Amino acid sequence: MKFGKEFVSQMVPEWQEAYMNYISLKSILKDMLKFKAENEPKAPMASTPKGSLKRRLTLYRAFSGLNGKQRHSPSSKSEDEVILIRSEEGEDDSKGLYKTMFLKPYEDGAEKDLVYFRKLDFEFNKVNAFYKKMMKEVIGEAEELSKQINFLIALRIKVDKVGFGNLDNSGNSSSTSTMNLVNDVKHGHSNIHMDVIHEVEMSNESHFIDDKDGNYVAQTNSKTNSIEGFRPASLQILDHVKINVITPETPVSTIKGLLLSSKSDKTFDKKELKKADEQLSTALKEFYHKLRLLKRYSFLNLLAFSKIMKKYDKVSSRNASKDYLKMVDSSYVGSSDEVNRLIERVEHAFIKHFANGNHRKGMNTLRPTAKRERHRKTFLLGLLTGCSIALIVALILLVLARDIADSIHGTEYMENIFPLYSLFGYIVLHMIVYSGNTYFWRRFKINYPFIFGFKEGTELGYREVFLLSSGLAVLSLAGALSNLYMEMNKKTQNYQSVTELVPLGLVIVVLVITFCPFNIIYKSSRFFLIKCAFQSICAPLYKVHFPDNFLADQLTSQVQTFRSLEFYVYYYFLGYYKDRSTKFISELSPNKNSIGESHKYKTFYLIVAIIPFWIRFLQCLRRLLLEERNMMHGFNGLKYISTIVALTMRTIDDQFNERKLVVWTILAASSSGIATIVNTYWDIVIDWGLLRRNSRNPWLRDKLSVPYKSVYFVAMVLNVILRLAWMQSVLGIKETPFLHKTAMTAFVACLEILRRGIWNFFRMENEHLNNVGKYRAFKSVPLPFNYQDDDEESSDT
């Protein structure tokens, strides 16, 4: 792989604009090379006798060697100089803006060199300024984290009560009690928490040695053997420390936050200690990740400047790289070693305070191993995909061979069995669409693992998601094929009730795999999905994070999946599967015994469809009232209310309008039209950020991840067309000559899932570009402690 492509692939996506524009500089060099090739005079071909060239060259070189001392003059060094680099704030000031002067401006083609060095200076100053700005931020964060660790050490000592009974007012213990404590620990006569002893020891950066009597003696770093005892972290600082009030994230804390005032006293307990420990550990890991990205940023840019200057020397036949790279090495980004020192300090602190001194454990936590692509995964993917295709072909051939579609068995199957298996079809299709989303997100460098908040190395790629979807497809298709075969086989007619349990068995298998506590089949991803689903269902009791928001939007496109689950409940738990027969099906309507004809079923048919939209409304309400307090969330909630009204009107017109009253049809059409207009506008303008009139890309947005602008216009048109799929129910197009009513409903539901897949890509792209605009490549982790002086407290009161 060429360096240009490798350079782009190694960039931090959110910092892409802060990197050196290697491609632009390389294009200038290509223009320079082209100009040189076009304007360089070609030497005339001289006719030389055969065999005389070698002798003449040899004589010329020998003659020039005799006069070598006379040809080299003291001014040859100045003639070799190509560039002169200076800082606007002084030569020795690394914080200044660097400017390169080209010393040969009157040569042919020199304007190309001037353009090149002007662009090169701009790129270098941009890189140097960004690195300097980021380093200023991380140094401030390092100081704050250091204070937080001191607070945590003092809190551990106070909460765990390690036995420093003779603590004075400053929080220090006498040497006698301390030495007794150490001796007790040595001889096994104490149950003191060893982690706290470790903190006490490290707080003074001292260690123990054995004296002649077999007792532990504290030895400081100055290597002076004196019995001074320990000086644990001063507990007085806790008088000025408060636990930061974090946004409520659980139902209990949310209710307490609304009904009770925050705790004003400075009492601490083990629960608060554990929470502070977890928060500070997460903050250190995120800070360490930030330092590693900064180190990689400086390394890549320095390497890029070295590569581009060597290319310049090769193209221009000059020697300018030495002087320029010397300036680069002496600049802030080239000479600063603060990142390496901070990385060592963070590693030391994390291993000491959060890994109990276990170096391997601490480094594995700070630097999780990257996932490795395995060939067996690709093999299984191909195998399961092939099996799925073979089962689909077998199912189609069986239906055609038995002429099931036109028989009474076909109606029976579509009314009862098809809704059971369509549940898996909706899930598989959504997983395939999400697999395509992950593929294109990676291709266009959209940092979806960071946006979703996945732990490093645990996110699923498109291969893993497609593997899971193909495995579920094989299970469901095999179940459908076996069910249909047993339906048609006379030998299994006596076991029809057992045959009906096949779909239920598949649901149980899927649920067991999903909630399996063992570390198999991507446990971390499964539990992440379960957590997001639970917090979405319990809205507004939980804090709304982006994954919860995104998942709830996916559920709004799975209305038919919820209705299929309702069908499962009625079909199995009310015993309908035991009474199914051809005679029963043919007389369903007169006797009103069909599941679809039940009034309670129709009522819950409407309620179940509203649930996903109601969840999103509650999430918007919480973000409006408790979190961000942005009116845009209120407008977004009204959008979901309009969708609920439209869905209610359509369901009433479809299920409850037995007299075919025109008023219900008009209400359904008008409410659906309004909801469609509002949702389409919100999708394209708010969620996708498109239709910007004054943008650099007309009617799109300033920044685009996809280089083909036509893709965005096609996506907008498809979004409008697919949103109009509700018209088939309003216009009374419930079935066609080649599609049963149930199949028609499933087809429209699949169109909505495809629309959601298109929405997913551009929604994530817009979120990513918002992060890019703010150079936001890290999660903001709240710190557990807040230090307040007495003066600040009195001024607040």
Residue 250 pLDDT class (50, 70, 90 cuts): low
Q: For 168, what's the count of Cα atoms within 13 Å in the CB-facing half-sphere?
A: 9
pLDDT for the residue 589: 36
Average pLDDT on 83-107 reads 65
Q: What is the mean pLDDT of residues 765-770?
A: 91
**What is the residue whose two structure tokens read 């845009």?**
632
Q: Which residue has the higher pLDDT, 768 or 37?
A: 768
CA distance 195 to 234: 17
Q: Quote the pLDDT of residue 716.
A: 95
Kindly state the DSSP code that residue 92 receives in the 8-state scheme: T
pTM score, two decimals? Answer: 0.78
Every domain of the chain and the residues it spans? 375-773
What share of the chain has pLDDT > 70, as a percent?
Answer: 70
Q: Check residues 64 and 51 and name the one with the higher pLDDT.
A: 51
Long-range CB contact pairs, 648-654, < 8 A, 24+: 648/606, 648/610, 650/726, 650/729, 650/730, 651/605, 651/606, 651/609, 652/606, 653/729, 653/730, 654/729, 654/734
484: how many CB neighbours lie within 10 A of its CB?
22
Is pLDDT above 80 for 421? yes
Which residues lie closer than 8 Å to 30 by C-beta, 6 or more apart? none
| Distance of alpha carbon 614 from alpha carbon 616, whole angstroms | 5
User: What percentage of the chain reaches a pLDDT higher than 90?
Assistant: 29
Per-residue H/E/C for 160-171: HCCCCCCCCCCC
What Rg value do the Cα atoms of the chain yield, rounded?
Answer: 36
Q: Which of the 8 DSSP states describes residue 726? A: G
Q: Is the pLDDT higher at 498 or at 679?
A: 679
Q: Is the pLDDT of residue 165 over 70?
A: no
Report the distance separating Cα 95 and Cα 331, nearest Å: 8
pLDDT band at 221 (very low <50, low <70, confident <90, very high): very low
pLDDT of residue 734: 62
Q: How much is the pLDDT for 248?
A: 52
**What pLDDT was estimated at residue 56?**
44
Give residue 42's pLDDT band: very low, low, confident or very high (50, 70, 90). Answer: low
Residue with tokens 């193209």: 315
> Could you tell me the pLDDT band of residue 94, with boundaries at 50, 70 and 90?
very low
**CB-CB contact of 669 with 662 (8 Å):** no
Quick one: average pLDDT of 115-127?
Answer: 89
CA atoms of 246 and 344, how far apart (whole Å): 30
Maximum distance among all Cα pairs of the chain, rounded to whole angstroms: 119
3-state secondary structure 118-156: HHHHHHHHHHHHHHHHHHHHHHHHHHHHHHHHHHHHHHH
Does 176 score more than 80 pLDDT?
no
Tell me which range, 171-180, 353-362, 675-684, is most confidently predicted by mean pLDDT: 675-684
Tell me, letter by letter, the H, E, C secondary structure of 394-409. HHHHHHHHHCCCCCHH
Q: What is the pLDDT of residues 566-602, one digit of tens each?
A: 888 888 887 676 665 433 333 333 334 456 566 788 8
Contact assessment for residue 473 and residue 506, using Cβ atoms and an 8 Å cutoff: no
Residue 518, token pair as written in the block: 């063992």
262 touches 762 (CB < 8 A): no
Q: How far apart are CA 300 and CA 123, in angstroms?
A: 13
Residue 42: phi and psi, rounded to 5, are: -85, 135
Average pLDDT of span 476-492: 80
Rounded-to-integer distance, Cα 610 and Cα 607, Å: 5
3-state secondary structure at position 173 = coil
pLDDT band at 664 (very low <50, low <70, confident <90, very high): confident
Region 673-678 average pLDDT = 92
Q: What is the pLDDT of residue 680?
A: 94
Per-residue pLDDT of 722-758, as tens digits, reads 988 877 666 666 666 667 788 888 888 999 999 999 9
- Would the pLDDT of 115 be above 80? yes
The H or E element spanning position 786 is: strand 785-787
Task: Give pLDDT tens digits for 273-319.
Answer: 788 888 888 888 889 989 999 999 999 999 999 999 899 888 888 78
